[in-house]
């Protein structure tokens, strides 16, 4: 199925609208590519939802969430075109020790609030779709 990444990101932002109200978070969108990719919209939404949710939870009021979509190629196979998506924030960051573990199942820095499955699931979705 063909998926427009910009549309998926906009839907994710709409879902998190209350956390993004003006004054809470500044969203900077830069969709330089309108290309479509092949994939399952629900899986792609899950990946971006996990990343956006983590960014929003890390931000203090007035923090910045950046979304950038651009045309790209597979570094291992330059004939394979696609898109590259950057999701970034200006939150406090992740410690080096935690960074090594963030994709492990059940690892969380959120205490009782987190399940530790979001990034693990996102990594699995990306890995399975990039191997096709």
Taking the domains of the chain in order of start, what are their residue ranges? 2-94
Q: Give the list of residues 6+ apart from residue 57 with CB closer than 8 angstroms, or none.
A: 110
* pLDDT confidence of residue 121: 86
pLDDT score at 80? 85
- Provide the mean pLDDT of the chain: 88
Architecture label for domain 2-94: 2-Layer Sandwich (3.30)
Helix (H, G, I), strand (E, B) or coil at 7: helix
Q: Which two tokens mark 87?
A: 């999701």
pLDDT reading at 64 higher than 90: yes
Q: What is the pLDDT of residue 130?
A: 65
Cβ neighbours around 85 below 10 Å, total: 21
């Amino acid at each position: 199925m063909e998926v427009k990444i910009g549309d998926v990101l906009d839907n994710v932002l709409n879902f998190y609208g209350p956390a993004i109200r003006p004054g809470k978070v500044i969203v900077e969108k830069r969709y330089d590519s309108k290309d479509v990719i092949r994939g399952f919209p629900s899986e792609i939404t899950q990946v971006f939802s996990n990343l956006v949710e983590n960014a929003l939870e890390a931000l203090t009021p007035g923090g910045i969430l950046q979304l950038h979509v651009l045309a790209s190629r597979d570094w291992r196979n330059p004939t394979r075109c696609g898109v590259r998506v950057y999701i970034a924030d200006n939150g406090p960051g992740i410690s080096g020790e935690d960074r090594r573990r963030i994709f492990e199942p059940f690892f969380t820095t959120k205490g009782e609030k987190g399940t530790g499955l979001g990034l693990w699931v996102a990594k699995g979705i990306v890995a399975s779709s990039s191997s096709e």
